[in-house]
Amino acid sequence: MNRIDYLFQTKKERILSIYVTAGFPNLEDTLPMMEAIQAAGADIIEIGLPYSDPIADGPTIQESNTIALENGMSIKKLFSQLLGFRAKIHLPVVLMGYLNPIIQYGVENFCKKCKELGIDGLILPDLPMSHYLEEYKELFERYGLFNIFLISPQTSEKRIREVDEHSNGFIYMVSSHAITGAKAEISPEQEQYFERVAAMNLSNPRLIGFGISDAATFQLASRYSQGAIIGSAFIKSIKNSNDSNADINAFIQGVIG
Amino acid sequence: MMIQVDEKGFYGNFGGAYIPEMLYPNVEELRENWEAIVASPTYQEEFQSLLKDFVGRPTPLYFAARLSESFGAKIYLKREDLCHTGAHKVNNTVGQIILAKKLGKKRIIAETGAGQHGVATATVCALMGMDCTIYMGELDIKRQRPNVERMRILGAKVVPAISGSKTLKDATNEAMRAWIADPVGTHYIIGSVVGPHPYPEMVARFQSVISEEIKWQLKAKEGRENPDLVIACVGGGSNAAGAFYHYYNESKVRLIAVEAAGHGIHSGKSAATSVLGTPGILHGSKTLLMQTEDGQVVEPHSISAGLDYPGIGPVHAHLHEIGRAEFVGVEDEDAMKAGILLSRTEGIIPAIETAHAIHALNQIEFNANDLIVINLSGRGDKDLETYIHWGNY
Ligand SMILES: Cc1ncc(COP(=O)(O)O)c(C=O)c1O
């Protein structure tokens, strides 16, 4: 069974997924970060594949992408860092990135490598449903990779149902009209949207992301879904850290309490 | 070999709409509605009237006698430089602003490199009383001060793109992010035949007035609609798409697409995407783009900010792949010389983008007395600083 499905079957609420950019803040930080995130009590690890033009990301993640690229991060490098990581990491691991670097790596090789290493799913914001279904679904399925779809407050009910039909693992609910890292308060309109989607009785669980940053927003997101995804706030907390293990632990414990 | 976009937005292997789900409703709204709106009589009435009285169309098709003599061919210049605001860009912004209004949008955003598209957008926003925000790379803001001030005089807000390389591609990223943040009230006026479907075809359609006019103007002057060659410069490729549009399927007409070769195609400082690019995804479409082996987008170089883009529109990638257009790379220095040549032989100081197209005459073969149309995409006022800095005249 895919580790993501196993997680959602065994834990029904307050699931926390933490996003960290590969090779950030230093090139060799990827695996130590993952270990620290797991040790601190998160449920899913999302590893960002840095890209020169991340159009769905706000300033914090953009900057972490730039730094990671300057550090020399690439898909090849990441795969070499991840060799054997399953000896240490049992949490589900999802790669989040943009399509172009994956196309250049070779999509089939990429999928194959993900399977060999023990990656569970992919979040590719610039791979919309129609292109996924036509060009990629078969490959992803052949290598056991879950494709995680995004929905936003603008997504129509009809399309949410379509997304639900084609999703596996979970649905990534973008919390607002926003790129990652947008401001941390949650408005009444956003709550209405959370409520509306919660009431749809979708077959897939949902995690809420973008703008989730602390215990309060995590708590709120968890009221309407199975949990949340934190990226920018986490990146900020490790950016200038002198003791990342301690800071990661403090951040994640601070969120899940 | 018909050159046509299919319903999914592909020209052969290139195109599509690789966009985040957050942009799907906006792009879908546009895709579903644009053709019907543009075809409607009320739209056409307003569009045609603005093209005529505001933009100044039809632009002349001018026989360049002295230039013809020096190259031994019959050379006509399609005078897009005489459009209001000084370049072809305004054909597209007029087309899109009426569309935005009909879609009920209140606010316009756009990206700009040199500032030409930004000025053309700010101009039509002023005309329509719409709120206007232009994203421009921080570096370009410094390099293109006069255009920044033109936009501000016209009432637009100019927002610096401070990420990445701080130039056109980053400004485009910022505009896309801004669109994600206000999907309901905002229309994004993309400035070239790039971006997700339906933008490349929509922008090409608005620019196709160029070749539509060339056809009847040439008929009146030469008794034939088709020249032997059409030459245009390619940044994203909108003026070229407009000049080629009604000739795509006239296989006897040679289409010459002129790219910026910077310091030399293989110098590492160039924007010759057709040679250096490989298939990839940029700003929502699959196309040829300049990138590293790892798929990171490479920062191009050209002396002309309007050609300084790491990709080309998907239609051009397709024309290149099937060999329908011939691609030529013109270096910075040669483009500058051609700018001076046109100034001195015809009394027209061209935009430096356009000067690349002029110089292509030296790099391609043609027969004596061939009928050649060069799309004179813009005038050189905006480039005075660059001419002065270059100084070799
Ligand atoms: C005069 C002129 N020509 C050409 C271009 C390049 O754009 P495109 O390739 O879309 O025509 C620009 C862009 O700023 C321009 O100002």
Q: Residue B294: which of A58, A104, A127 has the nearest Cβ?
A: A104
In total, the C-beta contacts within 8 angstroms joining chain A to chain B are 113
Residue bearing the CA closest to ligand 1, atom 15: B306
Q: Ligand 1: distance of its center to the CA of B238 in Å?
A: 7
Confidence (pLDDT) at A178: 75
Chain B residues near any Cβ of chain A (below 8 Å): 8, 16-22, 24-26, 163-164, 169-170, 173, 176-177, 180-184, 278-284, 291, 293-297
Tell me the shortest Cα–Cα distance from B31 to chain A, in angstroms. Answer: 14
3-state secondary structure chain B: CCCCCCCCCEECCEECCCCCHHHHHHHHHHHHHHHHHHHCHHHHHHHHHHHHHHHCCCCCEEECHHHHHHHCCEEEEEEHHHCHHHECHHHHHHHHHHHHHHCCCCEEEEEECCCHHHHHHHHHHHHHCCEEEEEEEHHHHHHCHHHHHHHHHCCCEEEEECCCCCCHHHHHHHHHHHHHHCCCCEEECCCCCCCCCCHHHHHHHHHCHHHHHHHHHHHHHHCCCCCCEEEEECCCCHHHHHHHHHHCCCCCCEEEEEEEEECCCCCCCCCCHHHHCEEEEECCEEEEECECCCCCECCCCCCCHHHCCCECCHHHHHHHHCCCEEEEEEEHHHHHHHHHHHHHHHCCCECHHHHHHHHHHHCCCCCCCCEEEEEECEEHHHHHHHHHHHCCC
Please check the confidence at residue B136 and state whether its pLDDT lies above 80. yes
Average pLDDT in chain B: 96
Confidence (pLDDT) at A182: 62
Judging contacts by C-beta atoms under 8 Å, the chain B residues touching residue A74 are: 294
Residue B237 CA: which ligand 1 atom is closest? 9
Tell me the shortest Cα–Cα distance from A73 to chain B, in angstroms. Answer: 10
- Asked whether the beta carbons of residue B295 and residue A128 sit closer than 8 angstroms, the reply is no
pLDDT-derived band at B183 (thresholds 50, 70, 90) equals confident
Confidence (pLDDT) at B143: 79
For the ranges A15-19, A55-59, A221-225, the lowest mean pLDDT is seen at: A55-59
- pLDDT one-digit tens code per residue, A132-163: 999 999 999 999 999 999 999 999 999 999 99
Confidence (pLDDT) at B144: 87
Please check the confidence at residue B366 and state whether its pLDDT lies above 90. yes
Confidence (pLDDT) at B309: 93
Q: Ligand 1: distance of its center to the CA of B194 in Å?
A: 12
Catalytic residue from among B89, B286, B337, B382:
B89
- pLDDT one-digit tens code per residue, A212-248: 999 999 999 999 999 999 999 999 999 989 899 999 9
Ligand 1 contacts CB of residue B237 (under 6 A):
yes
Q: CA B182: distance to chain centroid?
A: 26
Please check the confidence at residue A1 and state whether its pLDDT lies above 90. no
Please check the confidence at residue A185 and state whether its pLDDT lies above 80. no
pLDDT more than 90, % of chain A: 91
pLDDT-derived band at B202 (thresholds 50, 70, 90) equals very high
Ligand 1 contacts CB of residue B378 (under 6 A):
yes
Residue B382 CA: which ligand 1 atom is closest? 16
Please check the confidence at residue B233 and state whether its pLDDT lies above 70. yes
Tell me the shortest Cα–Cα distance from A252 to chain B, in angstroms. Answer: 28
C-beta neighbour count of B25 within 10 angstroms: 17
pLDDT-derived band at A184 (thresholds 50, 70, 90) equals low
pLDDT-derived band at A183 (thresholds 50, 70, 90) equals low
pTM of the shown model: 0.96
Give yes or no: B7 in active site: no
- pLDDT one-digit tens code per residue, A166-175: 999 999 999 9
Ligand 1 contacts CB of residue B81 (under 6 A):
no
Confidence (pLDDT) at B165: 80
Confidence (pLDDT) at A102: 98
Q: What whole-number distance in Å separates Cα of residue B84 and Cα of residue A192?
A: 47
pLDDT more than 70, % of chain B: 100
Please check the confidence at residue B220 and state whether its pLDDT lies above 80. yes
pLDDT-derived band at B1 (thresholds 50, 70, 90) equals low
- Asked whether the beta carbons of residue B24 and residue A53 sit closer than 8 angstroms, the reply is no
pLDDT-derived band at B45 (thresholds 50, 70, 90) equals very high
Residue B114 CA: which ligand 1 atom is closest? 14
